[in-house]
Amino acid sequence: MHYHSIGKFPHKRHTQFRKEDGSLYSEELFSTEGFGNVSTLLYRCHPPTQIIQVGEPRDIAPKLIHDKQLKHRSLKGFNVDPVDDYIESRKPVLVNSDCAIILSAPRKSMTDYFFKNADADEVIFIHKGTGTLRTMYGNLTFSYGDYLVIPRGTVYQFNFDNEDNRLLIVESYSPVVTPRRYRNDFGQLLEHSPFCERDFRKPTELETHDVKGDFLMYIKKQDNLYPYHYLSHPFDVVGWDGYLYPYAFSIHDFEPITGRVHLPPPIHQTFEGAGFVICSFVPRLYDYHPDSIPAPYHHSNVDSDEVLYYVEGNYKARKGIEVGSITAHPQGIPHGPHPGTIEASLGKKWTDELAVMCDTFRRLFPTKAALDLDDPAYPESWKGEHFPQSAGKA
Ligand SMILES: [Fe+2]
How far is ligand 1, taken at its centre, from the CA of residue 153, in Å?
Answer: 33
Q: How far is the CA of 263 from the centre of ligand 1 (A)?
A: 12
Please, how many CA atoms are within 13 Å of residue 58, restricted to the half-sphere of its CB? Answer: 9
Contacting residues for 37 by C-beta, under 8 A, at least 6 apart: 31, 175
Give the CA-trace dihedral at 347, 349, 352, 358, to 10 degrees: 80
Contact 141, 150 (CB under 8 A): no
Q: How far apart are CA 119 and CA 99, in angstroms?
A: 10
Segments in the chain forming alpha helices (H): 86-89, 341-345, 368-371
Per-residue pLDDT of the chain (394 residues; tens, 9 = 90+): 799 999 999 999 999 999 999 999 999 999 998 898 999 999 999 999 999 999 999 999 999 988 778 899 999 999 999 999 999 999 999 999 999 999 999 999 999 999 999 999 999 999 999 999 999 999 999 999 999 999 999 999 999 999 999 999 999 999 999 999 999 999 999 999 999 999 999 998 899 999 999 999 999 999 999 999 999 999 999 999 999 999 999 999 999 999 999 999 999 999 999 999 999 999 999 999 999 999 999 999 899 999 999 999 865 435 557 899 999 999 999 998 888 889 988 999 999 999 999 999 999 999 999 999 999 999 998 886 545 444 445 4
Amino acid letter, 382: W
DSSP assignment of 210-258 equals --EEEEEEEEEETTEEEEEEEEE-S-BEEEEEES---EEEEGGG-----
Q: Which amino acid makes up residue 383?
A: K
| Rounded distance from Cα 301 to ligand 1 centre (Å) | 6
Instruction: Return the closest-CA partner of residue 123 out of 171, 156, 194.
Output: 171
Q: Are the C-beta atoms of residues 106 and 87 closer than 8 Å to each other?
A: no
Alpha-carbon distance of 227 to 54, in angstroms, equals 6
CA of 299 to the centre of ligand 1 (A): 5
Report the separation in Å between the CA atom of 331 and the middle of ligand 1, taken as the mean of its atom positions.
9
> Pairing relation of β-strands 212-221 and 114-117?
parallel
| C-alpha 364 to ligand 1 mean position (Å) | 15
Contact 203, 137 (CB under 8 A): yes
**Residue type at position 346:** L
Contact 102, 168 (CB under 8 A): yes
394 C-alpha to center of ligand 1: Å?
4
Q: What is the whole-number distance in angstroms between the Cα of residue 173 and the centre of ligand 1?
A: 24
* CB-based contact 113:156 (threshold 8 Å): no
Ligand 1 centroid – CA 179 distance (Å): 19
Query: How many angstroms separate the alpha carbon of residue 21 from the centre of ligand 1?
Result: 62
Q: How far apart are CA 120 and CA 223, in angstroms?
A: 10
Residue 359 Cα to ligand 1 middle (Å)? 9
Residue 204: CB atoms within 10 Å: 10
Distance 227 CA to ligand 1 centre (A): 41
User: Rounded to the nearest whole angstrom, what is the distance from the C-alpha of residue 83 to the centroid of ligand 1?
Assistant: 33
CA of 13 to the centre of ligand 1 (A): 48
- Determine the Cα angle at 157 with ends 156 and 162, to 5°: 150
Ligand 1 centre to CA of 47 (Å) is: 49
Q: Is the dihedral of CA 243, 246, 247, 250 positive or negative?
A: positive
Number of Cβ within 10 Å of residue 362's Cβ equals: 16
Beta-strand runs (E) in 9-130: 26-31, 39-44, 51-54, 58-59, 73-76, 91-95, 99-104, 114-117, 121-128
**Cα–Cα distance list, 148 to 125, 143, 228, 295, 330 (Å):** 6, 10, 25, 30, 27
Longest dimension (CA), the chain: 77
Ligand 1 is a single-atom ion; what residues have CB below 5 A from it? Answer: 299, 306, 394
Ligand 1 center to 306 CA (angstroms):
6
Compute the radius of gyration of the chain from its Cα atoms. 22
State the Cα–Cα distance between residues 234 and 156, nearest whole angstrom. 9
Full-prediction pTM beyond 0.85? yes
Q: Are 125 and 231 in contact (CB under 8 A)?
A: no
Q: What is the pLDDT of residue 205?
A: 86
Residue 238 to residue 138: CA distance in whole angstroms: 10
Strand partners, 49: none
Ligand 1 centroid–CA 1 distance in Å is: 29
